[in-house]
Amino acid sequence: MAGRSPTLVWLTCVALLGLVTSTMAVLGQETDQPPAEEPAVATPEPAAPSPARPPALQAREQLVQFPSGDLQLSGFVWKPEGDGRFPAILYNHGSEKLPGWKPELGQLFVGNGYVFLVPHRRGHGRSAGPYIQDQITQAPPADRNRRQVELLEEHVADQLAGLAFLRTLPYVDQSRIAVAGCSYGGTQTLLGAEANPGYRAAVDFAGAAQSWAGNPLLQQRLIRSVQNISIPIFLLQAENDYNTQPSLVLAAELVRLGRPHTMRIYPPFGTTRDDGHGGFCARGGDVWGADVFAFLREAMG
């Protein structure tokens, strides 16, 4: 250090300390890539309370397993605190291969007094079986629309297997179970409600928004499904979703039939179509929560 001024030495040390601190911060960042499997999860910090999002109860998810025919399926259940019998939501995930445990939604619904079950359909998460998107892309291009509808109908069996499991839980009020879901899960919600397994209400977030324009067979199938549904339905999307025609067309059919329903197109959520689609479902509780919980209370008591 001979010949160097004290000021130069001090500046060099500060620079080295800054480099080490920055490197440690980068190494400590969480990846935004999905995990290979759903790990044991630390529940995220709760969002600020709102009319739809009361103070968090720090509920934790529980990994569960149940059969669907010859397949073993998995999923996650969230339970409010206490020993009472609670109303319940069966939540159908979308097409994502790793649906996870839906922590934002789990905390939101539990905070409003609902048991919240996320069953993983075949080929998703830890559930056995082929993955639906692989099956669709393996079909000849001219046959993919038909194959998509066929597979979505097949997966209703997994949804209903999840419902059968939900009914075995002693803390669930058997008379107050509703179905909900986003994207492919919104489509599943309508197909499950059509099967009339005893749901009291259905909440379709953005069902078929990405598939509607390119698959007239799916359009016809969902119009037919709402023609056969008698329970109240809530159709909701953000304005910047991929396509709002599913909600508009299906609501028009429900109006024609005089069936109980609510339909809302909310202002844009975020800045992209992905934000307005999956982001709106998963992170938009402060936008749609008050409406959804009011709908559920009216439909289920």
Supply the CATH number for residue 128's domain: 3.40.50.1820
Residue 141 has what DSSP assignment? G
Q: Is residue 271 part of a domain?
A: yes
The whole-angstrom separation of Cα 101 and Cα 104 is 9
Looking at the predicted structure, is the pLDDT value of residue 97 above 70? yes
Burial class of residue 291, CB neighbours in 10 A (0-12, 13-18, 19+): middle
The whole-number pLDDT of residue 233 equals 98
Three-state DSSP state, 104? helix
Residue 289 belongs to a domain:
yes
Is position 6 within any domain? no
pLDDT of 301: 84
- For residue 42, the model assigns a pLDDT of 33
Residue 192: inside a domain, yes or no? yes
The length of the chain is 301
Residue 33's pLDDT band, with cuts at 50, 70 and 90, is very low
Give the residue carrying structure tokens 């909310």: 266
Query: Cα–Cα distance between 93 and 133 in angstroms, integer?
Result: 14
CA atoms within 13 A on the CB side of 289: 22
Would you state the structure tokens that stand for residue 137, as one six-digit string? 């892309």
* pTM score of the predicted model: 0.82
Q: H/E element holding 67?
A: strand 61-68
Query: Are residues 286 and 47 in contact, defined by beta-carbon separation less than 8 angstroms?
Result: yes
- Structural contact between residues 177 and 154, judged by C-beta atoms closer than 8 angstroms: no
Number of domains in the chain: 1
Q: For residue 2, tell me if it sits in a domain.
A: no
- How far is the CA of 121 from the CAs of 15, 23, 29, 154, 236, in angstroms? 53, 41, 31, 10, 23
Residue 266 within a domain? yes
Q: How far is Cα 277 from Cα 186, in angstroms, rounded to an integer?
A: 11
Say if 144 falls within a structural domain. Answer: yes
| Res. 58: pLDDT tops 80 | no
Which structural domain range is residue 110 located in? 56-300
The rounded distance, in Å, linking the Cα atoms of 125 and 245 is 30
Amino acid 84: pLDDT: 86
CA angle 55, 50, 44 (to 5 degrees): 50
Residue 151 lies in a domain: yes
Least confident of 6-20, 51-65, 219-233, 254-268: 6-20
In angstroms, what CA-CA distances link 201 with 167, 189, 193, 197, 224?
16, 10, 8, 11, 18
